[in-house]
Amino acid sequence: MDTEKLNSTWTDICNQIKSYDNIDKTQISAFFSRLQPQAMSDGYLMLTADNDFIKSWIERNYVEYIKQALEDLYRIPYTVNIAVDFQLEQEEGTEITSRPSSPPLKPNNKISEEENEGNFTPSSLSTPILTSVAKTPPSYEEKELLPTSSLTFENFVIGDSNRTAYYMAVAVAETPGKSHLNPLFIYGKSGLGKTHLLRAIQNYLHETFPALKTVYVDSIQLINEYTEASMAHDKEKSSFKNFKTRYEEADVLLIDDVQSLQGKKQTLDIVFQIFNTLVNQGKQVVLSADRAPKNIDIDERYQSRFNSGGTFDIQPPEIETKLGIVRKFIEEYKINENQSNFNIPNEIQVFIAESSGSNIRELKSAVTTVIYQMTFFNKPNIELFEVQKILENHFSGGSSKRLTVADIQKEVEGFYKISHSDLIGKKRTRNIIYARQIGIYLCREMLDLPYADIGKNFNRDHSTVMYSYDNVSTKMKENRELREELETLRQLIKES
């Protein structure tokens, strides 16, 4: 992102914060003027403050508002990192009245206007805008956030958690339209690589079968397009037809994040019509979501059709896969920046992999932060304790998160839509007993508490807790859906 765009984006963020209730606009103007945006990509924003006091004050009082503004503006969660530019702090009497301009970095790949339409996808970390700092930060971007031409099968790190989904995506890309994989439905929590696989299919087809018309669309963009076409219909009768024709003429249609269609009945009906038209003609449809079709709150006939081809999940990555992603990310930086001698110490790589949760974007932004510290702040020999300090508030989940019984109970109650009093009370309806046993099982697995201690939190005795745990343990061995349900709950608990 070039300096002008970065500055404009930062202004938009500040204005968004000022629009919130209970915000003192004069404080925002006074303190935020002491922050400089340094780098931004999807899910990541790097700021510098001119002294440690400003950094600490912003982190204590306003960093959550910055994250909220980013999510409100760009519809995805962000990690916000604030560092102190000590060189600027030491420049006595220096007052920044405007930010100097600097030439934008040349992106490694170009992205077409059509691919980028309606999406905020900055192409790289920005060139630094502080004249007091001579060294350039890495012009690198997380793989998921690179222009879509870098989202290829070759760049996808394969592990036990995603292997099946990967091979099914490759199979569809090589021979689109085969009935047993039409539609192909890939699901898993946010940040696990679903979009990467859809874009990899798209890129493979563009290169291998250029005559095929391949269309990728995010569900939010699809909803917006449908809304605009409907609003324009009275004035321009062809608007709605043009909207539908674009997708019905596709040879391969990839729709990302279809769970966003929940509650959008009219859009969903149109998607269903387009879906049926394409599949009946032997054309390929690929869908992704953050949950299995049966767990999307839509009409059963839609669930059935979405699930009628091949449905495959991506599980949270194991440590080995996360470490592979870290290492591949570093290698790509070295190639892109022509820094063959650059490396991050192995113990720091392992720390990042072990501390991160399931979200790959979060993992990659942690690596970006470390690269930034080593290059921009000239710390090539950075040590583990420094990285631990830098990233102490970075990870939303991971091994360092301290969980309680209450954390688990809250997520179980929300997932199964029951009250806390029902969960720990005497009611014995089937759905409540089921949720209660799941909660007890997760407490035992995730907290490793004695049965008696768990029982106190559920108002149950030792033998009842033991039975509940054993019952779930037995059933999950033969019930794949239960295993998926438990894994989904684990991630919700870790990321809460």
pLDDT given for residue 108 in this prediction: 33
- Whether 413 and 457 have beta carbons less than 8 Å apart is answered as no
- Please count the residues of the chain: 496
CATH number assigned to the domain with residue range 162-313, chosen from the 4 options 3.40.640.10, 3.40.50.300, 3.90.660.10, 3.40.50.2300: 3.40.50.300
- Topology of 405-494 in CATH? Chromosomal Replication Initiator Protein Dnaa; Chain: A; (1.10.1750)
Strand-pair partners of 45: 40, 80
CB-facing half-sphere around the CA of 378: CA atoms within 13 A: 6
Domain residue ranges in the chain:
1-135, 162-313, 316-395, 405-494
pLDDT given for residue 204 in this prediction: 93
Regions of the chain short of the pLDDT cut 50: 87-147, 398-400
pLDDT given for residue 150 in this prediction: 74
Give the Cα-Cα-Cα angle 172, 176, 182 (nearest 5 degrees). 75
Tokens standing for residue 351: 């720390």
How far apart are alpha carbons 206 and 185 in whole angstroms? 21
The amino acid occupying position 49 is A
Residue 437 backbone class (left: φ over 0; alpha: ψ -120 to 50; beta: rest)? alpha
Which contacts of 67-73 are long-range, i.e. CB under 8 A and separated by 24 or more positions? 68/17, 68/20, 69/13, 69/16, 69/17, 69/20, 70/13, 70/45, 72/16, 73/12, 73/13, 73/16, 73/120
SS3 of residue 284 by DSSP: strand
Helices (H) and strands (E) in the chain, counts: 22, 8
Pairing of strands 44-49, 35-41: antiparallel
188 DSSP 8-state letter: -
How far apart are alpha carbons 428 and 258 in whole angstroms? 35
The top-level CATH class assigned to 1-135 is alpha beta
Closest CA to 127 of 114, 138, 111: 138
- The kind and range of the H/E element at 215 are strand 214-218
337 to 145, 294, 349, 441: CA distances (angstroms): 17, 45, 19, 48
**pTM (2 decimals)?**
0.54
pLDDT given for residue 9 in this prediction: 92
Q: Give Cβ neighbours of residue 322 (< 8 Å, ≥ 6 apart).
A: 352, 353, 356, 360, 363
SS3 of residue 228 by DSSP: helix
Q: What share of the chain is helix, strand, coil (3-state, %, to 5)?
A: 55, 10, 35
3-state secondary structure 432-452: HHHHHHHHHHHHHHHHCCCHH
pLDDT given for residue 485 in this prediction: 84
Q: Which CATH architecture has domain 316-395?
A: Orthogonal Bundle (1.10)
Whether the bond into 183 is cis, omega within 30 of 0: yes
pLDDT given for residue 215 in this prediction: 95
pLDDT given for residue 402 in this prediction: 63
